[in-house]
Amino acid sequence: MELSSVILQISFLIIFGKMLAFGFVGPEERKCKYLRVDKLLKIRCYDMNLKEVPQYLKTSVEVLDLSFNRIKKLKRSSFQPYTSVKYLLLYENMIQSVEPGTFSHLTSLQEIDLSNNALMTIPLELLQLPSLRNLYIDSNELTFLERDLEALETPIKAPLEYLNVADCGLQDIPDLGILPKLWHINASMNPLMDLSIDRFANLCNLKSIDLTRTQLSQCQCQQVNNHLRSLQVKTKFVPVCVEVLDSSICPLPYNFTIDSETFQTCKTTVKIAEARSMWMLVAGCVGGVLVVILVVWYCIYRRRKRRNKKLRAAALHRKSLVISPKNAINRNEKEFHCINHKNELLYCDTA
């Protein structure tokens, strides 16, 4: 009895294995989940063993999560159907290459996470997207970034506010030109042995920076700290300098940063942007007031029009009767008020 039971089990396992191999039986198919997050349509294709970007999703997606998959290459057509995407999550894939034009049509993109992939540079077209504020590209070996940045058109069009390039094997902070809106940069876990203090002249709006677990020299450490203090920037993520070097050995950074033409250009750009925002706010308020005035005027106009229409309708309902004096005297059903005009018929008002 036991032998026959074992034989049956073995036979079942063999048959099931064959069916699995030929595709008759398989694990339950996993599907992307559709959610609403802060009124945004989110599609979550997390950890589905995808090897390319699926093309069957809703084209109105605004948050697209493709993290923890096996995507190796992003093609020009990968995101063509999804032009409304605002947040794109691609971390923990195997992305090695990105075809030119992959991101160029994503004009609504505000944030992209490409961390923990196999990229060797930042796709430069990302830096020209008009809405991109947050860029996460940490934990990629950006070997060719410095070389590729030589072809970068500056000033970039992306209004970057947050940049994460941690653990990318960088010897210096990337030179992306003037970034008047950038308030935080994470460059931790990079060697940064060739860090040049003049790179900070492009970052006139910097509020915080993470330089932990780097290999800054004592002079670089001192210069960075002095510069950030002059800008009243949070320095808790900056390495503590072991010793204070004399200015003859380690010059103060102000001539390279705050007093530089680049820094002043950056500050001017910030002021122009603030002035433009203020004027847009004022114009919006004035426009709002004008709209309210127009709505009130239109309501008054409509009200008067309806009232005049009612008066005209009432006047039309008043029927003028033409009768003789005899009939007017003999009629007792109603009371008439008559006006007798010389050489004219008698008109009576029934109102």
- Say if residue 128 is exposed, middle or buried (CB neighbours under 10 Å; 0-12, 13-18, 19+): middle
Same structural domain, 228 and 333? no
**pLDDT greater than 50 at residue 347:** no
Q: Where is average pLDDT lowest: 84-98, 144-158, 217-231? A: 217-231
- Say if residue 328 is exposed, middle or buried (CB neighbours under 10 Å; 0-12, 13-18, 19+): middle
Q: How confident is the model at residue 130 (pLDDT cuts 50, 70, 90)?
A: very high
Please name the amino acid found at residue 238: V
Please name the amino acid found at residue 192: L
What are the φ/ψ torsions at residue 269 (nearest 5 degrees)?
-60, -40
Q: What is the mean pLDDT of the chain?
A: 84
Judge whether 166 and 138 are in contact, CB under 8 Å.
yes
**What CATH number is given to the structural domain containing 102?**
3.80.10.10
Region 153-179 average pLDDT: 96
Same structural domain, 93 and 234? yes
Same structural domain, 219 and 103? yes
pLDDT per residue over 311-340, tens digit each? Answer: 877 777 765 544 555 555 455 544 444 444
Which residue is it, tokens 């002021």? 271
Same structural domain, 267 and 330? no
Query: Does residue 21 belong to any structural domain of this protein?
Result: no
Query: Does residue 187 belong to any structural domain of this protein?
Result: yes
Same structural domain, 97 and 221? yes
Query: Does residue 130 belong to any structural domain of this protein?
Result: yes
Domain stop point among 271, 295, 311: 271
Q: Which pLDDT value is given to residue 350?
A: 45
Domain stop point among 271, 304, 334: 271
Same structural domain, 228 and 117? yes
CA atoms within 13 A on the CB side of 288: 6
Query: Does residue 341 belong to any structural domain of this protein?
Result: yes
Same structural domain, 261 and 332? no
Q: How confident is the model at residue 22 (pLDDT cuts 50, 70, 90)?
A: very low
Query: Does residue 221 belong to any structural domain of this protein?
Result: yes
Q: How confident is the model at residue 3 (pLDDT cuts 50, 70, 90)?
A: low
Same structural domain, 203 and 340? no
Query: Does residue 7 belong to any structural domain of this protein?
Result: no
Query: Whole domain around residue 328: which residue ranges?
Result: 320-349
CA–CA gap between residue 58 and residue 74 (Å, rounded): 19
Quote the number of domains for the chain: 2
pLDDT per residue over 24-59, tens digit each? Answer: 444 445 799 999 999 999 999 999 999 999 999 999
What six digits make up the tokens of 162?
């947050």
3-class DSSP state of 34: strand
**pLDDT greater than 90 at residue 1:** no
Nearest C-alpha neighbor of 101 from the set 124, 70, 69: 124
Q: Which pLDDT value is given to residue 239?
A: 75
Same structural domain, 130 and 192? yes
Between the alpha carbon of residue 57 and those of residues 95, 115, 237, the distances in Å are 21, 23, 41
Between the alpha carbon of residue 219 and those of residues 150, 192, 194, 247, 292, the distances in Å are 27, 13, 12, 10, 61
Same structural domain, 242 and 157? yes
pLDDT per residue over 59-116, tens digit each? Answer: 999 999 999 999 999 999 999 999 999 999 999 999 999 999 999 999 999 999 999 9
What are the φ/ψ torsions at residue 85 (nearest 5 degrees)?
-60, 130
CA–CA gap between residue 203 and residue 239 (Å, rounded): 19
Q: How many CB atoms sit inside 10 A of residue 282's CB?
A: 10
Same structural domain, 125 and 250? yes
Same structural domain, 267 and 325? no
Nearest C-alpha neighbor of 206 from the set 233, 174, 175: 233
